[in-house]
Amino acid sequence: MPALSGVVSSSLCPIDSFGLGCGKSRQLIFPHNLHYSAAKASKRQKIFQVKAGFWESLKSGFTKNSTTQVIEPPSTLQEEEDSLPDEFVLVEKTEPDGAIEQIIFSSGGDVDVYDLQSLCDKVGWPRRPLSKLAAALQNSYMVATLHSVRKSAGSEGNDQKKLIGMARATSDHAFNATIWDVLVDPGYQGQGLGKALVEKLIRALLQRDIGNITLFADSQVIEFYRNLGFEPDPEGIKGNVKTQISLLYIVRE
Amino acid sequence: MLLRGTISYTLPTSTLRLRTTYTYPQNVAVSAQSTSSKFSISDQDLESRGFVLRRTVEDLNLDHLNSVFVAVGFPKRDPVKIRVALKNTDALLWVEYSKTQRPVAFARATGDGVFNAIIWDVVVDPSFQGIGLGKAVMERLVEELVGKGICNIALYSEPRVLGFYRPLGFVADPDGIRGMVYSRKQKYNK
């Protein structure tokens, strides 16, 4: 029985998620229309195709059980030309009892703040005030989420939807973006979902012509981000970012 | 995936009062700062020397700002994009030189308004460097962010200006946390 927790993890790095110290907060479900992708945002799930190489890495995280299906891309598709939809199915699995689980990526930013707090609890982040969490999401330029939607075989229409991952980015909408708060439910880690989350977020940012994408990584996850195309302390990058050393200033009152 | 909450931090400067060990407050309470001598140079001091502190984009000539950027070595950026960036900036501060009514110092911060902020584009016109304008701008910008309850304030800096940021309370790569930048040239591994 291919429960997802039984999936063998591949060589992909496990994801450690770290919280920001300021105390967690819960949030209200915040509306789609705060993001400019909202005009296109829809609840319909579209199946899209992604570059083959990427999917190879994702597939290797799954068991070879024949009931597991991964949405395959045609190899002719060019990633750069493909416009990223707001919401699409990343992975689809069929379980022996006929139930189907889909992992859905969305950049529409529809996050139930209580779900988010539960997710933060699961990964062990300190609690932050809900209102602050809501505000942070609202003030983020982009919020990407992963949801697991499980449809039981009886086709009764009872879908179980669960938030299993999130990443968000703040930005000035023109030059710079910074990625914060990347987290994946521990029960779904090791499958390349965190990688997918960040990769899609990056693509969405690049599509909006945000050239400088930054983040701060704890030493344990530096390799994870390096594999996604990030460089620590890059040298001599002129332009929007004066780089070499990153400084951190932490304040508590 | 950035900041670990267990970081403890010691602030060397005397201008800002901060606790040295970190706890997780349920409510982020912002303590009131002393009013008189919290900055290295006071607003009045600056004004008496012909410099006016501004906190909005109003009256900020973007072409003049752009020329300051260019003067310090940034590539020239599209003023339309600069306008968009400033519109979506959490806080900004600039110094106007009364005589010419041009910006001579500038800094801005982006973020989510509650937890994190990153400071960008800290510049001082080369003709006006070394007299404390950069410090004036930074101190006030940080104070404004702190006043909003923002706990994590970060920036990227070249090593040669580390000495500028350190007295302001900045620490390099605490606890092994590194800043990373996405590089399109890099192919990502499996």
Per-residue DSSP letters for A12-43? SPP------SS---------GGGSGGGGT--S
For B81, the closest chain A residue by CA position comes to: A174
- The candidate with the shortest Cα–Cα distance to A199, out of A84, A65, A61, is A84
Q: Supply the Cα-derived Rg of chain B in whole angstroms.
A: 18
Encoded tokens for A19? 């919280």
Cα separation, A34 vs A31, in Å, equals 6
pTM given for the model:
0.71
A-facing residues of B in 135-174 (CB < 8 A) are 142, 146, 149-159, 161-162, 165, 168-174
Encoded tokens for A168? 């968000």
Cα separation, A188 vs A9, in Å, equals 10
Encoded tokens for A184? 């994946």
Tell me the range of A140-154, A235-249, B152-166 where mean pLDDT is highest: A140-154
Kindly determine whether residue B151 and residue A20, on different chains, have CB atoms separated by under 8 Å. yes
Cα separation, A23 vs A129, in Å, equals 6
Are A208 and A198 a contacting pair, CB within 8 Å?
A: no
DSSP class of B166? G
**Domain ranges in chain B?**
6-168
B182 is catalytic: no
A-facing residues of B in 34-63 (CB < 8 A) are none
Cα separation, A120 vs A26, in Å, equals 10
- B84 contacts chain A (CB < 8 A): yes
Kindly determine whether residue A231 and residue B180, on different chains, have CB atoms separated by under 8 Å. yes
Catalytic-labelled residue, pool B22, B24, B97, B165: B165
Cα separation, A168 vs A116, in Å, equals 12
Please report how the helices A113-122 and A130-138 are oriented relative to each other, as an axis angle in degrees rounded to 10: 110
Average pLDDT of chain B?
79
Encoded tokens for A119? 């997710």
Cα separation, A11 vs A60, in Å, equals 8
DSSP class of B98? T
For residue A232, the model assigns a pLDDT of 84
Of the candidate ranges A90-99, A169-178, B42-51, B118-127, the one whose mean pLDDT is the lowest: A90-99
Query: Which of A172, A181, A231 has the CB atom closest to B88's CB atom?
Result: A172
What mean pLDDT is predicted for residues B126-135?
96
Instruction: Kindly report, residue by residue over A40-70, the tens digit of the pLDDT.
Output: 333 333 334 334 445 544 554 444 443 444 4
* CA A209, chain centre distance (Å): 19
By the 10 Å C-beta count (0-12 exposed, 13-18 middle, 19+ buried), A201 is classed as buried
CB contacts, 8 Å: A189 with chain B: none
Instruction: Kindly report, residue by residue over A115-169, the tens digit of the pLDDT.
Output: 999 999 999 999 999 999 999 999 999 999 999 999 987 766 678 899 999 999 9
Backbone phi, then psi, for B66, in 5-degree steps?
A: -60, -40
Cα separation, B170 vs B168, in Å, equals 6
pLDDT band at B110 (very low <50, low <70, confident <90, very high): very high
Please determine, for residue A31, whether its predicted confidence score (pLDDT) is greater than 80: no
Give bridge partners of residue A68 from the DSSP assignment.
Answer: A93
Instruction: Kindly report, residue by residue over A76-99, the tens digit of the pLDDT.
Output: 334 444 677 789 999 999 989 889
User: How would you classify the pairing of strands B91-97 and B51-54?
Assistant: antiparallel
Contacts of B36 (CB under 8 A, 6+ apart): none
Encoded tokens for B88? 């979506």
Q: Complex ipTM, two decimals?
A: 0.76
For residue A23, the model assigns a pLDDT of 37
Q: Compare A191 and B11 and report the one with higher pLDDT.
A: A191
By the 10 Å C-beta count (0-12 exposed, 13-18 middle, 19+ buried), A216 is classed as buried
**B6-168 under CATH 3.40.630.30, yes or no:** yes
CA angle A124, A197, A17 (to 5 degrees): 20
Backbone phi, then psi, for B162, in 5-degree steps?
A: -55, -40
Cα separation, A212 vs A192, in Å, equals 24
